[in-house]
Structure formats: C-alpha cells, structure tokens
Chains A and B, each alone.
Chain A
C-alpha cells in the first residue's frame, strides 16, 4: 500500500482553476464594490481558520484523551490545519479593508458615539492588528511544531514523539480554546460593536470543533476514494459520527441559548443584533441556520445504523460546510455591508478559498505518511471495534 499522497496533476489543475475563479471574483469585487468585497474576504478567512482550528483541536484532543481509535486517521486533522499560516497572511491583508468592515475603525466615531469612545482603548486599529499577530504567533508555531513531530515520528520512529506531541497538544488546546474564543470576539463580534454576547466566544469555539470534524470526515472519504485507508471500518465511522452528533447538540444548545436570553430579556441594546436578522431580509438565513446546522444533522446522525453509512456522513458533512458559510454570512454581513447580496462575488470568493485550502491540505499531506507509520497505537486503531 502506498503510504504517501502525491497530489496528481489533475488535482492541482482543479485547485488552480478554483483559485482562478476566486481571484476573478475578488478583483471584480474590488473594482465594482470594495465595501461588499472586504466583508466577504473576512468571512472566508474566518471560515477556513475555523475549519483549521477545529481540525487541530480534534488532533489535540486525541492526544490528550489518549484515544487509540483515531491513530489511523490522525494525519488528516493535522493536515486540515495547514491553512493557518496562509490564513495569517490573509488576515493581515484585512488591514487595508478595516474601514469597510468595522464601524469602530473610523476614528471620528468616538466623537459622537459615547459607547465607542468608551471602548476605544481596546477597539482601535493598532491594538487590533497587534492582537491578531499575537494570536497567530501562538497558533502557527505550534502547528509547525506538531507537524514536525509527526514527520519525525514517521522518519525516525520511537515512542518519544508520541509523548512530545501529547505535551504540545496540551499547550495547543489552551492556546486554541482560549485564544480562538477571544479571536472570534475580536474579528466577528466587534462588527456589531454596540452589541455583545458573553457566550459568543464559546459558541464560536464549539462551532469550530463541529465543522473541523465535518471537514475531517470529508477529507477522509476523499482519500478513501483514492484507495487510502483500506483499514477504515464501521467502528471508525461510528466514532466520527458520534463526534458530529455530540457537537450538533452543543451547537443547537448554544445557538438557542444565545437567542433565548436576548429574546426573553427584550432589552433594546441586545435585541439590536437580532431585530434585522429576525425581521428583515435576513429572515431566511436566520431560520435556515439552525435547521441546516442542528436539526438535520441531529436527526440523521442520531439513527445508529443509518447515520453511520458512508454517503450519509458525506452528505451531512457537505451540508455542514454550507451551514458554516450561512452561519458566518449571517454573523458578518448585516453589521458590515448592511444589505443582503448574494451573487457571483460571494460564491466565487468561497470557491477560490476552497481551492487554496485544499492545496494547502494536500501539500501538507504529501509531506507526511497518510497512515502514521510509527504511532504506538496504530495496531489498536486498525483493530478497533465497538
């Protein structure tokens, strides 16, 4: 069995074409309507950073919990985080578009808006950029560290790499969970700077793990189609489905609780966030979000035999990819661009980013052996059964 993934020419051509579509969309967007393009760039940055962080959190959790079932697929979540360095550069580019996204980035607003003046020491452009750099300065080196340890485990072998990875996984989970919550508040919640929700960060973090699991499932089955992972059995699918099921419950809970508390208290300064989404043109997205992200996965994956089938898992994961886009669209657009516009620009940029993300993932995978060679729990994982 070939243990290395070599990206074929066909693959690279498809991805290059996708990136080309994205570039065309971005350039057309900047020429015609920069105010509409910048929020879309932020949306897609956040989308793929969410996926990367979620996948890496999955990777770290496997080490922390000492799971043996996942040893077979452990390289996939690691590679799924390969977008992070690129995400860092793309987030830095956002510096040029801050005025089109964030209300607080206009210095003159502090003169008329008392609340903005109060928040100005935290919400100002230099500090925002410094924080962004700090977040990535934590994540990106940790990602490279974990990757180099995985590579050394393949090449040199020995149990020490497992224990080292387990240690750095613990470091990473703190950096990821705490800092990603903060980062999502920074990048997404401050778009509606007058509004705040105390569970926003936690919700984004859980969301990240949820969709991270979904992208891992998609990548695994994509590789299985190329004849990798012959040892993948129903038991592994069962465990992956359980991850999805559990996170769908937590997602549904947090989505509803954030809404319920604001709806129940009915205080104008918090309902300001939900009023346009619930009654305006965003209504469709508002109701579709919990249905796609919670109700459908919850009901489908709940059924023990049906939810573990390969096409069902692929379908649900692909649906969740759309769900995450809708979820972020609903979080970002009403506060930044203000009106609902869905066209080639939005879809094109998304497609371009998908190409970029997959190129990064497959380049990372080609440097590793797809099935970890010297993982101490590999045998356990191959013979995993329920």
Chain B
C-alpha cells in the first residue's frame, strides 16, 4: 500500500524540535524523523512507538524458562550425575551458562525481529527520503491525516526549508 506523505526539510535541530512539538499539539501524526544525528527529545514526539523493548522483555522471560528447561533436561533427564555432594538439579553451578544463554538468545531474537520488522536484508536498496539526510538535513515525515494545505502552512511557519510531497511504501 502506498500513501502520500508530506516531508518537511529542516537544517536546524532546534527548529525541528519546535516544529514537531507544534505539529503534535495540532494532532498531526509524525511518522518518522530522518537526520544525521539522534535526539532523545525528538524520539519522544514520534507518534509511532517502537514495540521492540516489550518484545525484548517478553523474549527475555521466555528465554529464562527455556534455559531452565534446558538445564533441567541436561542435568536431570539426560545425564544425571551427582558431584560435590550437590543435588542433581544444581542449577546455581550452571548459572553463568544460563545467564549467557539468556543474553545470546534474547539478543539474537531482538536483532532478527528488528531486521524483519524493518524488512532489512543484504543488498536492499536504502530507503532514504533524500541522500542529504545522512549529511546535514533533518526530514520530518508526516502522515496526511489533515488538510495538506494546513500542514504545509504550519511547516512553513516553523521555518521549514523545503516541503516535499512524496509517495512512499508504507
């Protein structure tokens, strides 16, 4: 599905921040912000919230159960062995392994889900709004859920350099 989007081009981060706050207060959905540097205040203004942290926590909890099951299978079911006067299911002695397994599985799963959700794969053409986004310009991508003339007016008021209307893959 392709939708039309309005893109405001800014060359100043402070102006961009002010513009995002104003547009947000008007109820415009901010789809994305492209720029050469990251800014926490800008990320907070995005309408689309990343679900990745929740997925990460969920996977983490699942992985803890998984590693417990794994250790239980290895030490109790598959190869029960008493050593050092400890019970068979002596998981604290394997806690380092379990800890690293949790990090590995959760980290790998989060990474791959990020890659899938963003449809990234080797050799994919970059989905940049404009090559200048990697150099010195900030791009504010807005959904057209308002009267486009109104949005354009607001953007111009806030000091946008240029306003582009573009069809993009959603």
Contact segment of A20-28, A82-90, A210-218, A258-266: A258-266
Q: Give the residues in chain A near B95, CB-CB below 8 Å.
A: 256, 260
CB distance from A268 to the nearest CB of B (A): 11
Which interface class (under 10, 10 to 19, 20 to 34, 35 or more) fits B?
under 10
Is the CB–CB distance between B86 and A385 below 8 Å? Answer: no
Instruction: Name which residue of chain A comes closest to B95, CB basis.
Output: A260
A263/B41 in contact, CB under 8 A: no
Closest chain A residue, CB of each to CB of B96: A260
- A386 CB within 8 Å of chain B: yes
In the complex, what's the smallest C-beta–C-beta distance from B44 to chain A, in angstroms? 9
Report B65-98 CB contacts with A as 1/0, cut-off 8 Å: 0000000000000000000111000001101000
Rounded to whole Å, the gap between the CB of A383 and the closest CB of chain B is: 13
A-contacting residues, B38-55, CB 8 Å: 40-41, 53
- Evaluate contact between B84 and A264: CB separation under 8 angstroms: yes
Return chain B residues, CB-CB under 8 Å to A304: 53
The reply to whether A264 and B93 form a contact with Cβ atoms under 8 Å apart is yes
CA distance A304 to B57 in the complex (A): 13
- Other A-B contacts than A263-B92, A263-B93, A386-B41, 13 sampled, CB-CB below 8 A, are A256-B95, A260-B92, A260-B93, A260-B95, A264-B84, A264-B92, A264-B93, A266-B84, A266-B85, A266-B86, A304-B53, A385-B41, A386-B40
Residues of the B chain whose Cβ atoms lie less than 8 Å from the Cβ of A266 = 84-86
**What's the Cα separation between A383 and B85 when bound, in Å?**
59
Report, as a range, how many residues of chain A touch the other chain: under 10
- List the A residue with the shortest CB-CB distance to B40: A386
Q: Kindly report which residue of chain B lies nearest to residue A302, judged by CB atoms.
A: B57
5 contacts between A and B (CB under 8 A): A256-B95, A260-B93, A264-B93, A266-B85, A266-B86
* CB interface residues, A 201-252, toward B, < 8 Å: none
Q: Which residues of B contact A260 (CB under 8 A)?
A: 92-93, 95
Instruction: Give the distance in Å from the alpha carbon of A256 to the alpha carbon of B53 in the complex.
Output: 27
Nearest residue (CB) in B for A385 is: B41
> In the complex, what residues of B have CB within 8 A of residue A263's CB?
92-93
Closest 9 CB pairs of A and B: A386-B40, A264-B93, A266-B84, A260-B92, A266-B85, A263-B92, A260-B95, A385-B41, A264-B92
Compute how far the CA of A385 lies from the CA of B44 in the bound complex, rounded to whole angstroms: 13
CB of B56, distance to nearest CB on chain A (Å): 11
Instruction: Report A277 CB to chain B, min CB distance, Å.
Output: 16
| Least CB separation from B39: chain A residue | A386
Name the residue on A nearest B44 (C-beta).
A386
Most interface-central of A256, A264, A304, A385 (chain B CB within 10 A): A264
Q: What residues of chain A lie closer than 8 Å to B85, measured between beta carbons?
A: 266
The smallest beta-carbon distance between A241 and chain B, in angstroms, is 15
A301 to nearest B CB, angstroms? 14
Q: Which residues of B contact A385 (CB under 8 A)?
A: 41
A264 to B92, CA, bound (A): 8
* Separation of A260 and B84 alpha carbons in the complex (Å): 13
**What is the distance, in angstroms, from B98's C-beta to the closest C-beta of chain A?**
12
Question: Chain B nearest CB: distance from A208 CB in Å?
Answer: 26
Q: Which residues of A, 264-319, contact B by the 8 Å Cβ criterion? A: 264, 266, 304
